[in-house]
Amino acid sequence: MDYLELRNSFLSELHGVLNTVELQALRSKYTGKKGVVTQKLKAMAAAPKEERAALGKAVNEIKDFIETQVKEKETALSKKDTRSYVDLTLPGAYIKPGGRHPVKIILNEIIDIFVSMGFAVEDGPEVETDYYNFEALNIPQNHPARDMQDTFYIKPQGAESPSHSNVESNIVLRTHTSPVQIRVMEKRKPPLMFIAPGKVYRCDSDISHTPIFHQVEGLMVDEGITFANLKAVLEAFLHIVFGPDVPVRFRPSFFPFTEPSAEVDLCCFACKGSGCRVCKNSGWIEILGAGMVDPRVLNMAGIDTEVYSGFAFGLGIERIASLRYGIDDIRLFYEGDLRFLRQF
C-alpha cells in the first residue's frame, strides 16, 4: 500500500468517528500491535538495506501523523457531551393518539364541503312523529312507498297499555334525515340552503345493513333553482370526495318527496366501468338519492311553489366510508373494536 493512500483512508475513517470508543478502535486498527502501520514497520526488515532508512522515516512520519490526529480528535470529542449515548431505535415515550371513527371522518368531511359552498348545518330529533317522517314528505299511510323503509315504532309515551301494535303508534325512530327539511321549512322562509347530518334507523340487520346508520340530508330552495343546479352542486361535491375525474351519472328514480327524482351513480372505481363484483357488474355504484322537492311537500311546509323551487338530496355516510376505506362488513363500524378503530 502506498503511504499517501494509507493516510487518506485513515483520514476518511477518522471523519466518520463519533465517539471515543470508535476512536480507540480506529487507532488500534492503524497503530496497534496488529495495526496496518505496525505491519509495515515489521515488513521493513525484509526490505533491501539501502531502502530501510527512507522507509523507516516514512513509516514513523505516518505513525506520528496518526497519533497527532487521534489526539486532536480525542480533544474535540471530549468537548462534546459527557452524557451516555441514546439508542435511536428505542421507541419514544408519548401518548399514542386514539382513533377517529371512520364514519365521523367522512361526516365531517362532507359537512366541510357543503359549508364551503355556503350551506348551513341543521339538526333535528332522532325520535320523530309519523307526520314529519312520512306524511309531510308525501308518504301517506298504506302507500307502498312505506315499504321502502323498515320502520322502528316507539311506544307512545305515558301510555300504560302494553297492547299497542306498530300500526297504532305514530311515533317512530326517524328512517331518514328528511324530516329536518320540513322542520326548517316550517320555521324559515327561502332562500334556504342547508344540510342536516345525523343518525337514522331502519329495522334491518345483516352484512350490508345495520339498524342504525348516518345520513346527510341537503336542501336548497330559492327562486329559480333547477335540476341543472342540482346536477352541478352534486357533481362538484362528488368530485371533491372521489376525485375530479370520476364520471357521475344521474338516473331517474322515485322518492315520494321529490319530483323529478334521481339516483346518482358513480363510475365504479374498482373496474372503471367494465363491471365487477363491487358494482354488481353494472359498472356503476349508487351513491346518493336526490331530486327537485315535490311541490306537495313545499306546499305542506307553506312555501309558494309558484315562486320557489328547490332540490333535496340524501346520502349514506357508511356507504361512502365503506367505499373509501374498502370496508366490506358495515357492522364493523358499530362493534367498538380497537383493532378496527385504531386504523383511522
- Per CB under 5 A, contacts with Zn ion among 261-320 are 268, 270-271, 276, 278-279
Helix (H) / strand (E) element for 177: namely none
When the beta carbons of 80 and 249 are compared against another protein, the nearer one is: 249
Is residue 145 close enough to count as binding another protein by CB under 8 A?
yes
Touching another protein, residues 302-341 (CB under 8 A):
309, 333-339, 341
The grid coordinates listed for 189 are 322562509
Nearest one of 154, 104, 159 to 133, comparing CA atoms? 154
Residue number, nearest CB to Zn ion: 268
Touching Zn ion, residues 212-271 (CB under 5 A):
268, 270-271
Other C-beta atoms lying within 10 Å of the C-beta of residue 98: 10
Touching another protein, residues 231-250 (CB under 8 A):
231-233, 235-236, 249-250
Is residue 229 close enough to count as binding another protein by CB under 8 A?
yes
Other C-beta atoms lying within 10 Å of the C-beta of residue 118: 9
Nearest one of 44, 46, 35, 45 to 10, comparing CA atoms? 35
Piece of 15-23, 28-36, 66-74, 276-284 that binds another protein (CB under 8 A): 276-284
Other C-beta atoms lying within 10 Å of the C-beta of residue 211: 14
Among 48, 165, 302, 326, binds another protein (CB under 8 A): 165
39 interacts with, out of another protein, Zn ion, none, CB within 5 to 8 A per kind: none
Other C-beta atoms lying within 10 Å of the C-beta of residue 141: 10
Phi, psi of 85 (to 5 degrees): -75, 140
CA distance 68 to 51: 26
Piece of 7-15, 68-76, 207-215, 266-274 that binds another protein (CB under 8 A): 207-215
When the beta carbons of 10 and 311 are compared against another protein, the nearer one is: 311
- State the first-to-last Cα distance of the chain, in angstroms, to the nearest integer: 60
Contact code string over 116-135 relative to another protein, x by CB under 8 A: -xx-xxxx-xxxxx------
Q: Residues interacting with Zn ion, by CB under 5 A?
A: 268, 270-271, 276, 278-279
